[in-house]
Amino acid sequence: MPAMSAMPSIVGSIVIATLLQGPANLQVRENTRIPAPNELPKGTVIPIQLLTKISTKTVKEGDGVYAMTVFPITLNNEIVIPVGSWVQGKITAVQRPGRVKGKAGLALSFQTLTLASGSKIPLYASLAGSSDAKTDSEGKLEGESSKGQDAATIGKVATVPAVIGGATSGRKGAGIGGAGGAAAGLAAVLLTRGKDLVLDRGTTLEIVLDRPLEP
């Protein structure tokens, strides 16, 4: 009988301890964020069109980038960013093409969205793609390689001395002339930079939101 009388006290202690701890499924995570109903989520893609020309030959880090939206962005079946909204950004990195190797490169970021109403909204967006250039995994635009052009330059410069040497001194002269021309062609390549990356006015870009946006 004494053992039976001890059972209620043990059960009661367990119930009290459970109540004090509270239900596990009601615990709130500190970092949980509930998005606003009129908020564009992070990762939203916005197509834009450049209003000015950009070239790695002339621009520098910190220069402004100006564009406009070319496709309406909707939320809950309503247009929140209409076509023609202004987007302003800046150039965050410029890489000129090398003289022997290395491609031109550009990195852009975007900070301001101006709606047709005139209201300016802070924008946190980076480049996702371009119609005129390749984009790497980090969102950096990459220019074309000049390997084919360099080879053509060396071959073109070597051709004329080889022909002249062959006409005047036979095969031996042609060989000497060709070698000299190849050296001259190589020198021309070493003194000339590769292709600059150029984005003409009207180039279409895709930017992606790095943070949620509330228009």
Report the relative pairing of strands 120-130 and 105-114 from DSSP bridges: antiparallel
- For residue 13, the model assigns a pLDDT of 58
Residue of 199, 188, 200, 194 lying closest to 103 (CA atoms): 194
Please tell me the distance from the alpha carbon of residue 100 to that of residue 65, in angstroms, as a whole number: 30
Give the pLDDT mean for 174-203: 66
Residues 6+ apart with CB under 8 A from 87: 46, 48, 66, 67, 68, 69, 110, 112, 113, 114, 123, 207
- Parse the chain into domains and list their residue ranges: 45-144+196-209, 147-193
Condensed to tens digits (0 to 9), the pLDDT of residues 49-99 reads: 999 999 999 999 999 999 999 999 999 999 999 999 999 999 999 998 875
Beta bridge partners of 121: 113
Cα angle: 39, vertex 72, 53; to 5 degrees: 110
Residue of 38, 64, 36 lying closest to 50 (CA atoms): 64
Please tell me the distance from the alpha carbon of residue 186 to that of residue 68, in angstroms, as a whole number: 44
Condensed to tens digits (0 to 9), the pLDDT of residues 13-22 reads: 554 555 455 5
What top-level class would CATH report for the domain 45-144+196-209?
mainly beta
